[in-house]
Structure 1
C-alpha cells in the first residue's frame, strides 16, 4: 500500500596514479610496515554537510572546450620540456596563480604561471619554485602533483613526494608571496597501515576550504596496487584526520573508463552540490575524467561509464585527459576547468603533456539569495529538497521540514535582515504528550535566535545582520528544533517522515 504523507491546509597535471604505476614498474620497495602513518592514526566519521541523501544529478553542461593548450611544456633542455601537467589554479586580487608540474625526463618539479584571464599564461622566469629536497620524504623523483589553497593569509601548497625507498606521501609548503615556499619538514598525510585501502601510498591531493575547515581529497593505494579515493579533514592545515568512510570512491566496473584505477580528484562546491572530477584509467591505460555528485562530500554518485570527454583522434589530448582543477569565473558566469592532456597513453610520463581548458555552466535557474516555497520551482534546474537540506517536497505552497535544516544563500550585501517565516503545527506534538519545543537559528555557525513554542501558530523571525555578516559572500542558515515526531508512530496516518514544522520562506530584506 502506498503510504500517505501528512498534510496541513494552511491559509590530475600528470596523474599521481601514473607516478605510482611508475614506482611499481621500477621495482621500488613498498613495505608499509616500516613506514607507519603515525600522524594519521585517528579517523573520524564526518561530513562536509549534514544530509542523509544521495543525489544523482546536478546542473553541469560543458559550454566550450578550447582546441589548443593554454599552457605548453618548455623547449628541449628546460625543466618542464617533456611534460607539463597537473595545474592547480587559485585567484588572488584578480590574478590567477597556476602551480603546475613539469617533467624533464628525470624528475618532476613545481612551477608557477600567472594570468589575468585564465587563458593566456606567463611562466615565472625563475621556475621551478619547488624541487626535490636533498634528503627526506621528498628527495626522490617528485616534488609536485600538488594543490594550492589560500588559507590563513598564506598559500598552502600540498604536494606529492617520494623518498629514496619509493614511499609516496603528501607534504606541505607555504608561501606569503606565492613565489617563495617554505617546506614543512614532515609529511602531513601519510600512508595507512599495511592492509588498509591506502596502506601503500597517498598521492594526488586536492584541498578545498568549506565552512572554515580544509578537506583533502586524495588517492590511496593498497597492497594490490588498487587506487581509490578518500578524504581527510583539518582545522589548521597541518594535522589531518581521515574519514572512516574511506575510500569514498571505488574503481569502475569491468569495461568502464575507470576500471583500472582512480586518481586526481578535484572538488568544487556550488550549494547545495559538491562536484567531483576525477581521472579514470581503462584497461588500455587511456585516461579520461569522470563526473560525480554529492550533497555531503562523502557519498558520491558517478555520472559516467565511458568518461566525460569524448576522445578524438589526432588531437593534442587524444589519449590522456586528467588532472583537473576548478575556479569560478564571475565575469563569464562559468566554471573554468583546467586539465592535463597528452597524445600518448604511457603509464607514468612522456605523454607530450600540456594543460588545456574547458568551461562549464552550473547555473541553477533559481533565486540564490532567498528560499520561498511559493516560488516556481518547475523552472529551476534543481529541487527544493536539495537546496533546503532536511526539507520535504513542497505541497500547496508549503513544505514540511525535519528537526535539522540548513541552506547556503548568496549574501545580499544590500539587505539588513534575514526573515524566517513558517507555521508550528503544535497539535502533533500535543498528540505525542510534548508540552514545549525549542527552535534555534544559526547563521554561519553562530547562534542568532532562540524561541520556545507551546502552541500552534504562524511565526516570523527577523534577524538583523551584523556588520561582519554583511561582508561575507555566503550565508549558511541552520535551524534546529529539539524535537520532531513521526506521525505513523502516533497513529496519525502512515507518514513515516520525521516532521518538525512547516516552512514558508527564508528571505533577505
Structure 2
C-alpha cells in the first residue's frame, strides 16, 4: 500500500494515499455534540488552574442559537470538551459566540459577542471562578462603537493589557454593512471591572481596514500579544472561505498599526488539504514553556465543517516565522 507523509504546516500525519486523502495536523479538533456535523470556530486559549482551556464557537441547528464550547488540554494538542456556555440573558437569546478570554485575579474573564442581531450585535462580558460557570456582567452589553465610520456593530472581542490599561479590539462594519474592519477601545487603567461605563472608544475611525487584495472586504478576528514594547496583532483577512487567511500587524501604542507583510502570514491550504477553504480566525498564545502557538480554524468544504488546529511560531527580529 502506498502512503503519503502530510504536514500542512503542523506535525505530520501518515495516511494511505487515496481519493479522499487529506493533510491532517496532529491537533484536529471539532465539536459534533450540538449538531451532527463537526463544527468548532473562533478558538481562544488560556492557562487556568493547572490546565489549558479553549473557548470556541458552536452553531445550533439551522445555524441558529450559537453557543460557546469549552475544552481542556494538558498539552495544547489533545482536547476534551468539558462544558458549554449557552444563551441565557435576553440580549443573547439569539446566540453568543466569538469568545475572547483572559485570566485576571484568579478568575477567567470572558468577552463575547451577541449573535443574529445584525447591526445591533455588541460585546458582552462574563466572569468565572472555575472557567466553566460564568456570571454575566450586569451592565451587558458592555461595548458597541459610535461614529459615522461604522454601523454600530461590535464582534470578535480581543482584550489585552498594554501600557497600563486594557485595550479592547473589535470588528465592525462600515455604514453600508459591506466592509469589515477593526476598531479599538480601552479602559483608563488595569484596575477595572470591565463594566460598560469603563470603556472609551479611542479613535473615531478604523485602526485597520482591508486594503490588500487578499484581505478583500474584511479584516476581523484580532488576537494580540506583547513582545517587548510592541503589540503584535494576528488578524483574519477575507470573509469565511473566500478564503480567509491570516496576517500580522505591529503597534507600539495600540492604536496605529503597520502590517509586517503584504502577503498572508498563514494562507489557506493547498488543494486537497484539510484547510483548503481557509485558515482563519487566529489566536496567538504563549505556552508555559515559553513557546508560541498560533491557533486557527480551517476546513476544505466551504464551511460544511470546521476544525481547529495550531502551528508553532516564533518572534524573531520584529518579525514572526513558522516553526516547521
TM-score (norm 1): 0.53
With over 3 angstroms needed to count, the CA separation of the structure-2 counterparts of 1:134 and 1:166, relative to structure 1, is farther
1:304 alignment partner, one of 247, 252, 261: 261
Query: Secondary structure of the equivalent of 2:125?
Result: strand
| Superposition deviation, residue 199 in structure 1 | 2.5
Give distance in 2, aligned partners of 1:258 and 1:65: 24
Instruction: Determine the structure 2 residue equivalent to 1:28.
Output: none
| Superposition deviation, residue 362 in structure 1 | 1.2
Report which of the two structures shows the higher radius of gyration computed on alpha carbons. Answer: 1
Give distance in 2, aligned partners of 1:231 and 1:324: 18
Stretches of structure 1 that go unaligned for 5 or more consecutive residues are 1-62, 364-380, 383-509
| Superposition deviation, residue 149 in structure 1 | 0.7
Instruction: Determine the structure 2 residue equivalent to 1:176.
Output: 129
1:132 alignment partner, one of 82, 87, 107: 87
The answer to whether structure 1 residue 201 and structure 2 residue 153 are counterparts is yes
Give distance in 2, aligned partners of 1:197 and 1:174: 31
With over 3 angstroms needed to count, the CA separation of the structure-2 counterparts of 1:138 and 1:244, relative to structure 1, is same
2:69 alignment partner, one of 111, 114, 121: 111
With over 3 angstroms needed to count, the CA separation of the structure-2 counterparts of 1:198 and 1:166, relative to structure 1, is closer
Query: Secondary structure of the equivalent of 2:276?
Result: coil
Query: Secondary structure of the equivalent of 1:88?
Result: strand
Instruction: Determine the structure 2 residue equivalent to 1:486.
Output: none
| Superposition deviation, residue 198 in structure 1 | 2.7
With over 3 angstroms needed to count, the CA separation of the structure-2 counterparts of 1:189 and 1:134, relative to structure 1, is closer
2:273 alignment partner, one of 284, 309, 315: 315
Instruction: Determine the structure 2 residue equivalent to 1:147.
Output: 100
The answer to whether structure 1 residue 224 and structure 2 residue 152 are counterparts is no
With over 3 angstroms needed to count, the CA separation of the structure-2 counterparts of 1:250 and 1:80, relative to structure 1, is farther
Confirm or deny: 8 A CA contact 2:234 2:246 kept in the other structure.
yes
Query: Secondary structure of the equivalent of 2:154?
Result: strand
Instruction: Determine the structure 1 residue equivalent to 2:209.
Output: 250
Stretches of structure 2 that go unaligned for 5 or more consecutive residues are 1-7, 12-23, 319-324
Confirm or deny: 8 A CA contact 1:82 1:103 kept in the other structure.
no
Confirm or deny: 8 A CA contact 2:299 2:305 kept in the other structure.
yes
| Superposition deviation, residue 325 in structure 1 | 1.2
Instruction: Count residues with an aligned counterpart.
Output: 289
| Superposition deviation, residue 102 in structure 1 | 1.1
1:270 alignment partner, one of 217, 223, 227: 227
Instruction: Determine the structure 2 residue equivalent to 1:65.
Output: 10
| Superposition deviation, residue 172 in structure 1 | 0.7
The answer to whether structure 1 residue 187 and structure 2 residue 141 are counterparts is yes
With over 3 angstroms needed to count, the CA separation of the structure-2 counterparts of 1:116 and 1:155, relative to structure 1, is same
| Superposition deviation, residue 244 in structure 1 | 1.7
Query: Secondary structure of the equivalent of 2:273?
Result: coil
CA RMSD of aligned residues (A): 2.5
With over 3 angstroms needed to count, the CA separation of the structure-2 counterparts of 1:164 and 1:228, relative to structure 1, is closer
Query: Secondary structure of the equivalent of 2:92?
Result: coil
Instruction: Determine the structure 2 residue equivalent to 1:335.
Output: 292
Give distance in 1, aligned partners of 2:110 and 2:275: 27
Query: Secondary structure of the equivalent of 1:257?
Result: helix
Give distance in 1, aligned partners of 2:294 and 2:233: 11
| Superposition deviation, residue 351 in structure 1 | 4.2
The answer to whether structure 1 residue 355 and structure 2 residue 308 are counterparts is yes
1:326 alignment partner, one of 284, 292, 301: 284
Instruction: Determine the structure 2 residue equivalent to 1:424.
Output: none
Query: Secondary structure of the equivalent of 1:325?
Result: strand
With over 3 angstroms needed to count, the CA separation of the structure-2 counterparts of 1:214 and 1:309, relative to structure 1, is same
Query: Secondary structure of the equivalent of 2:175?
Result: coil
Give distance in 2, aligned partners of 1:176 and 1:80: 31
Give distance in 2, aligned partners of 1:268 and 1:164: 30
150-159 or 303-312: which moved more? 303-312
| Superposition deviation, residue 79 in structure 1 | 4.9
2:57 alignment partner, one of 101, 125, 130: 101
